[in-house]
């Protein structure tokens, strides 16, 4: 069985990479748009049990906890888990973090109302076991929200170029189309609710600065991306969604950390 590769075992993908990305202007803008859409897809999480798979340094887990969820985060990287625990401690947030892989979730069946999996599938060669495990631990009627780089997006293309130029990180990348993600979710018994785009600009700070206000205006809120459905048939550079009747919301182009 393939295993999710430990994030800090991959060059340039530790907590410091996340911090560096958010410190950049394009990173700050992009992260805000992506997080807003992901949280919108998650819906009202008050009182819900949530699992963040591939939690990284705990940023999303913390946001979910502040909205009233009981949150657990797992990551294959011990360094990421330590960074996530440090974040929770700084903010006095009661979040459980532990080292685990997405293919072997250490939880009993039907335990969570919501599962988020943001930019982890691009480092998993065979995602079938991941979807199977997530479907197992989701309760009936629960929801899965996925965020991934779109296979044919400008962001993914740039990473493929970097792989060809010798990047060990992106040589391990595995980008999928919305159709492939839909098929994987359906195979696991998840009903697809929809797919939304998150980022509609290339990795260029000026473009992000120029277009992000328009994306938020289309959404009808300065704080939260409410509905990108009018853009659904276009070709965004990033996606998001999933759920279990479980249902699943698939989002593409939801990560640009490195």
Q: Where are the domains of the chain?
A: 7-252
- Is it the case that residue 116 has pLDDT exceeding 80? yes
Q: Report the alpha-carbon distance of residue 6 to residue 101 in Å, rounded.
A: 8
CA–CA dist 222, 213 (Å, integer): 8
Whether the per-residue pLDDT at 230 is higher than 70: the answer is no
CATH of 7-252, one of 3.40.50.150, 3.40.50.300, 1.25.40.10, 3.40.50.720: 3.40.50.150
Among 15-24, 61-70, 150-159, 249-258, the least confident range: 249-258
Residue 138 has pLDDT above 80, yes or no: yes
DSSP labels, the chain: ---PPPGGGSTT-SHHHHHHHHHSHHHHHHHHHHHHHHHHHH---TT-EEEEET-TTSHHHHHHHHTT-EEEEEES-HHHHHHHHHHHHHTT---EEEE--TTS--S-TT-EEEEEEES-GGG-S--HHHHHHHHHHEEEEEEEEEEEEBTTSHHHHHHHHHHHTT-HHHHT---B-HHHHHHHHHHTTPEEEEEEEEE-S-S-HHHHHHHHHHHHHHHT-SS-----GGGTTS--SEEEEEE-TTEEEEEES-----
Match 């780089």 to its residue by tokens.
149
Given pLDDT bands bounded at 50, 70 and 90, which one contains residue 81? very high
Q: Is the pLDDT of residue 203 over 50?
A: yes
Residue 200 has pLDDT above 50, yes or no: yes
Query: Distance between CA atoms of 159 and 257, rounded to whole angstroms?
Result: 11
Q: Is the pLDDT of residue 47 over 70?
A: yes
Name the band, by pLDDT with cuts 50, 70 and 90, for residue 227.
Answer: very low
Q: Over 50: is that where the pLDDT of 89 sits?
A: yes
- Most confident of the following: 35-44, 55-64, 187-196: 55-64
Please, how many CA atoms are within 13 Å of residue 257, restricted to the half-sphere of its CB? 23
CA gap 80, 74 in Å, rounded: 9
**Furthest C-alpha separation in the chain:** 47
Distance CA 108, CA 72 (A): 13
Mean pLDDT computed over 146-157: 83
| pLDDT tops 80 at residue 59 | yes
pTM score above 0.75: yes
Task: Classify burial at 64, counting beta carbons within 10 Å of its beta carbon; exposed 0-12, middle 13-18, buried 19 or more.
Answer: buried
Q: In angstroms, how far is CA 178 from the centroid of its own chain?
A: 14
pLDDT reported for residue 14? 79
If pLDDT is split at 50, 70 and 90, which confidence band does 55 have?
Answer: very high
Q: Residue 86: pLDDT band by 50, 70, 90 thresholds?
A: very high
Structure tokens at 39: 């949280």
C-alpha span between 157 and 216 (Å, rounded): 25
Does 10 have pLDDT greater than 80?
A: no
Condensed to tens digits (0 to 9), the pLDDT of residues 153-183 reads: 878 888 888 878 887 777 777 888 888 999 9
- pLDDT score for 216: 62
pLDDT value for 195? 79
């Amino acid at each position: 069985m393939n295993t999710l590769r430990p994030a800090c075992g991959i060059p340039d993908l530790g907590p410091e990479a996340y911090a560096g990305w958010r410190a950049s202007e394009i990173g700050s803008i992009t992260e805000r748009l992506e997080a807003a859409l992901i949280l919108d897809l998650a819906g009202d999480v008050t009182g819900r049990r949530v699992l963040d798979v591939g939690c990284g340094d705990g940023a999303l887990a913390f946001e979910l906890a502040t909205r009233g969820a009981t949150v657990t985060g797992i990551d294959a990287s011990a360094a990421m888990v330590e960074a996530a625990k440090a974040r929770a401690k700084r903010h006095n947030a009661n979040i459980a973090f532990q080292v685990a892989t997405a293919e072997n979730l250490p939880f009993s069946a039907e335990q969570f109302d919501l599962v988020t999996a943001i930019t982890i599938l691009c480092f998993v060669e065979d995602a079938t076991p991941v979807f199977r495990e997530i479907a197992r631990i989701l309760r009936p009627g629960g929801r899965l929200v996925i965020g991934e780089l779109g296979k044919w997006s400008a962001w993914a293309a740039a990473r493929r170029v970097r792989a060809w130029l010798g990047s060990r990180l992106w040589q391990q990348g595995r980008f999928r189309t919305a159709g492939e993600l839909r098929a994987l979710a359906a195979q696991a018994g998840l009903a697809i609710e929809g797919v939304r785009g998150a980022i509609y600009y290339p990795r260029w700070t000026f473009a992000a600065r120029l277009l992000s206000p328009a994306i938020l205006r289309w959404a009808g809120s300065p704080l939260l991306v409410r509905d990108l459905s009018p853009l659904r048939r276009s070709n965004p550079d990033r996606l998001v969604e999933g759920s279990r009747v479980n249902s699943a919301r698939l989002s593409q182009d939801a990560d640009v950390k490195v």
